[in-house]
Amino acid sequence: MSTSSPAESFREYLDRLDERDAVTRIERSVSWDLEASAITMLANQRDDRIPIFESVSNTGLDARLVGDPYRGSRTRPWDRVALALGLPTGLPADEYYETVIDRLQQPISPETIAPSDAPCKEVVQRGRDADLLSLPWPYIHAGDGGRYSNLHTMVVKDPESTWSDWSSHRAMVQDGKHASLLLLAGEQTPNIYYYKYERQGERMPVALVIGGEPATQMTSSMWIPTGRDEAGFAGGLKRKPVELVECETNDLLVPANAEIVVEGHVVPNKRLDEGPFGDYFGYMHGPRRSMPVLEVDAITHRKQPMIPFCVEGSGVGHTLNTSATVEVACVGPDATLGLRTAGYDVEKCVPWRFTPRTVYVVSTDVSRPGYLHELANFIFTTWGMLHVDFFVFVDSDVDPLSTREVLEALALHADPESDFHQFGTVAMPKVPLNIYQTPEEKGDDETGTSKTKTTKAYIDATSGDDALTHETDVVDDDFIRERAREILSDAGVTIDGFGRGDRQ
């Protein structure tokens, strides 16, 4: 497998896309008020190049916007993430997953560098000079509660240990000094705030890292176990240490080559409205909710900084966006590794490509009902699974990335009477984001949790007793497919994505 070096910065990643004619540099001035997001959504719908907005009107700082920079193609959603990590863009899905899993198993500790060597500190603004509204945060959907930063890494520190957590909770800009943060209890960073800092009446130092190098953006979305630093796993992904630098106004360490770092603190027992927002479920999520407040202490950034953003909701039903791509290309391998580490025989664990935080598909060689029930119970109880409602289990020869194959397995092997399983009607916690939840069910304003719990479910779409026959058929099928590729190649025809792990 031929590899190259990973992208060391967000800008280097965009340059790589540019070299492959995969970006559109828009020189004409556009507005952060819906225009940039509308153009990005059109690119998403057309599976087109990534838009870079070189000139943004009505903003106090010479900054640029980048729409859905990691959004993968419809047929190969992992390719741009692979490019960012220095992997071949033609890598089959199976090989891509195994390569990412292998790198996650070999974390590399970060290195701390001097502030004078950190690109993110080319410009330093403190106190009154640190103005959120000087940056062109996009107004993404008509009906949103405000302008958002929704593609960043949030860095906080556990006050009871040396552990720093990286996460990706969105921030709604309120004014030049404040933003409200979507912190939903049950997840790592919200738990640190609600049950440690706020319970003790203490301010929580926080940093929002915008436009960090790709490996850091990827790990902030993964299910890294509590107590283990994402920086080390980011180093494993890029096969060299991530460079960190200390913030100006607190002792948090942040990726040194980021485009922008917003430093601040979350104030205990203070709330501001957050939302509505056009969420990843594909609808305008509301009503407005009271959420914890970030007060800004400093902003450091590169000259002419870039702000990446994601048009959430546009990935539902017809295409992908950054959020869906990162789930499939980063969270999927991480979840697969987690299940294998727990001792389960899993080929792949893949988020559903169109609503990636609602359904996961797991392919496995073991189809015993008791085994699948134990596996589902482990996932729902150990991982928490606040977002994911149910799992679909398929045979290992079924490609979880293929919508057709998964639906075919459901249609042929899932008996509605015996293969659809629930874990009770009020057994599991749930984030207050689903469209089926009533406003009353969505609201505990104190900790941002659902008022009621929900059921969780799984579907056994494995072939059961027919597994051996099915496996034999696939061996023959693979031979015939490879023979067909060979014949067409001799005839001068190139078939892209014709084979297991590539077909979509």
In which band, very low, low, confident or very high, does the pLDDT at 497 lie, cut at 50, 70 and 90? very low
Mean local confidence (pLDDT), 299-304: 97
Q: Are strands 178-181 and 260-274 parallel, antiparallel or unpaired?
A: unpaired
pLDDT tens readout for residues 72-130:
988 889 999 999 999 987 899 999 999 999 999 999 999 999 999 999 999 999 999 99
Average pLDDT, the chain: 88
CA 401 vs CA 57, 179, 391, 394, 475: distances in Å: 40, 37, 14, 11, 19
What was the pLDDT predicted at 469?
A: 47
Contact predicate 294/181, CB 8 Å: yes
CA 355 from centre of chain: 12
Angstrom distance (rounded) from CA 140 to CA 206: 24
pLDDT reported for residue 504: 39
What local confidence, expressed as pLDDT, does residue 371 receive?
92
Predicted pLDDT of residue 225: 84
Phi, psi of 432 (to 5 degrees): -85, 60
Is the confidence at residue 502, as pLDDT, over 50? Answer: no
pLDDT at 470 over 60: no
Query: For the packed helices 230-238 and 93-104, what is the interaxial angle rounded to 10 degrees?
Result: 130
Q: What confidence tens digit (pLDDT) does each residue in 370-380 have?
A: 899 999 888 88
pLDDT at 431: 66
Least confidently predicted of 122-136, 393-407, 477-491: 477-491
Which is higher by pLDDT, 190 or 2? 190
Question: How is residue 71 annotated by DSSP?
Answer: P
Q: Does the pLDDT value for residue 347 go beyond 50?
A: yes
pLDDT at 69 over 80: yes
pLDDT of residue 268: 96
pLDDT of residue 185: 81
CA distances from 310 to 175, 431, 465, 472 (A): 21, 20, 44, 43
Question: SS3 for 263?
Answer: strand
Nearest alpha-carbon partner for 50 in 28, 21, 77, 30: 21
pLDDT of 439 above 80:
no
Q: What is the per-residue pLDDT across 255-300, written as a single tens digit (0 to 9) for each?
A: 999 999 999 999 999 999 998 898 776 677 777 889 999 999 999 9
What is the spatial distance between Cα 348 and Cα 96, in angstroms, rounded to a whole number? 11
Q: Helices 93-104 and 332-341: crossing angle, nearest 10°?
A: 60
Q: Which residue has the higher pLDDT, 472 or 228?
A: 228
% of the chain beyond a pLDDT of 70: 86
CA–CA distance, 252 with 206 (Å, rounded to integer): 8
Report the SS3 class of residue 245: strand
Residue 499: pLDDT band with limits 50, 70, 90: very low
pLDDT digits (tens, 9 = 90+) for 395-431: 999 999 998 999 999 999 999 999 998 876 556 666 6
SS3 of 55, please? coil
- Both tokens of residue 71? 């959004």
pLDDT of residue 384: 57
Q: What does the pLDDT read at residue 139?
A: 97
**For position 258, what pLDDT does the model report?**
98
State residue 501's pLDDT score: 42
Helix H or strand E segment including 489: helix 467-490
Residue 443's pLDDT is what?
60
User: What pLDDT, on the 0 to 100 scale, is given for residue 437?
Assistant: 67
Distance in angstroms (rounded) separating the CA atoms of residues 156 and 247: 12
Model pLDDT, residue 498: 38
Q: Is the pLDDT of residue 494 over 80?
A: no
Residue 149 pLDDT: 97
